[in-house]
Amino acid sequence: MSDIGNSNRITREYIDSLLIETRYMDSANPDPAFTLYGETFSSPIMTAALSHLKPRLGEDAPLALANGAKAADTVLWYGMAEEDEIESLSKTGVRMIEIIKPYADRDLIFKKLETAEKLHHLAAGIDIDHPFAEDGSPDDIEGFKMAPLSTAELAEFCKSTKLPLIIKGVLSLRDAERCLAAGAKGLVLSHHNNRIEYAIPPLAVLPEIAELVSGEIPLFVDCEIKTGMDAFKALALGAAGVCIGRPLMGAIRENGADGVRDYLLKANNELKKAMAYTGCYNLKKMDPTVIRRL
């Protein structure tokens, strides 16, 4: 398979081109405690919204992800799934953010938002970057047709739920402005694992979108976030939190829920190191000027 234009590679290269300026003077013990929508967690490093784990990794994989996130005291983001799967994850007691597909059947989105509310999720969201298939026609996932969202529809979804509604798949100031205007309560900057080639690395657009939202709503980043150092770069540049996807699939394969927990805890320790070494010793002290482009 050709690697030309591969957005994961381009994103990885971009993250690696960002260097960290050390600032030891007046630094202190790092504390990555993370408050999101009124609840506090031990880390801003969360799971990415994964799906279809059972055919890939076995029947227990979704629960391993949930239990691993819970053991690491962080948030479980989860993707497309039937109601019984979502319910079983919710029963673990993990705090959960469910990302709902941009179903062409809009009633299905309203219904899923209602269920998310009943299950007391921390938040819900929609991945706006999955309406189209590889040839640009409407996508069809397991018999469900997808369709792009309009700003007006998004405003309706936001109004319909008491949960904070997050939009996943934003990579432009233009989309960020429209989501903000529609009442979104969070944005995930993401190209969704190379959905389009030559996507702008999320960290490259993060500063301008952070300036736009100026702390009004939290920004999240995924794609190629693998270590605590990667997470730190995103946080310093204005993200409230980050999500890790494919590396946690490897962790499930190796050691189930314990593998997920250990991966997340290790990344959190790496994050603490970067925080201590830069004087950004809590999440309020994050400072974009510690990041320099190679």
Ligand X SMILES: Cc1cc2nc3c(=O)[nH]c(=O)nc-3n(C[C@H](O)[C@H](O)[C@H](O)COP(=O)(O)O)c2cc1C
Instruction: Just list the catalytic residues.
Output: 192
Q: Confirm or reject binding of residue 246 to ligand X (CB under 6 A).
A: yes
Q: Confirm or reject binding of residue 291 to ligand X (CB under 6 A).
A: no
- Considering only residues 91 through 120, tell me which ones interact with ligand X, judged by CB under 6 A: 99
Six-digit token string for 23 = 């600032």
Report the residue number, 30 or 218, with the smaller CB distance to ligand X. 218
Least separation in angstroms between residue 28's CB and ligand X is: 30
Q: Confirm or reject binding of residue 199 to ligand X (CB under 6 A).
A: no
CA dist., res. 170 & res. 181, Å (int): 14
Six-digit token string for 288 = 């974009």
Q: Confirm or reject binding of residue 79 to ligand X (CB under 6 A).
A: yes
- Total residues contacting ligand X by CB under 6 A comes to 20
Which residue's structure tokens are 């408050």?
35
- Considering only residues 31 through 70, tell me which ones interact with ligand X, judged by CB under 6 A: 48-52
CA dist., res. 116 & res. 78, Å (int): 12
Q: Confirm or reject binding of residue 273 to ligand X (CB under 6 A).
A: no
Angle formed at CA 279 by CA 243 and CA 16, multiple of 5 degrees: 45
Report the residue number, 45 or 217, with the smaller CB distance to ligand X. 45
Report the residue number, 182 or 242, with the smaller CB distance to ligand X. 242
Six-digit token string for 221 = 């980043």
Residue 293, H or E segment: strand 291-293
Report the residue number, 210 or 252, with the smaller CB distance to ligand X. 252
Among 15, 45, 223, 280, binds ligand X (CB under 6 A): 223
Report the residue number, 139 or 224, with the smaller CB distance to ligand X. 224
Among 224, 239, 274, 278, binds ligand X (CB under 6 A): 224
The separation between the first and the last C-alpha atoms of the chain, rounded to the nearest angstrom, is: 29
CA dist., res. 162 & res. 165, Å (int): 9
Residue 272: count other Cβ atoms within 10 Å of its Cβ: 18
Least separation in angstroms between residue 193's CB and ligand X is: 4
CA dist., res. 171 & res. 7, Å (int): 12
- Nearest by Cα to 99 from 134, 146, 48: 48
Among 245, 256, 259, 279, binds ligand X (CB under 6 A): 245
User: CB of 73 within 8 A of CB of 86?
Assistant: no
Q: Confirm or reject binding of residue 193 to ligand X (CB under 6 A).
A: yes
Among 63, 72, 80, 235, binds ligand X (CB under 6 A): 80
Report the residue number, 225 or 231, with the smaller CB distance to ligand X. 225
Sign of the torsion angle spanned by Cα atoms 125, 10, 271, 264: positive
Residue 273, H or E segment: helix 246-278
Among 121, 178, 192, 261, binds ligand X (CB under 6 A): 192
For binding to ligand X (CB under 6 A), which residues are involved? 48-52, 79-80, 99, 127, 168, 190, 192-193, 222-225, 244-246
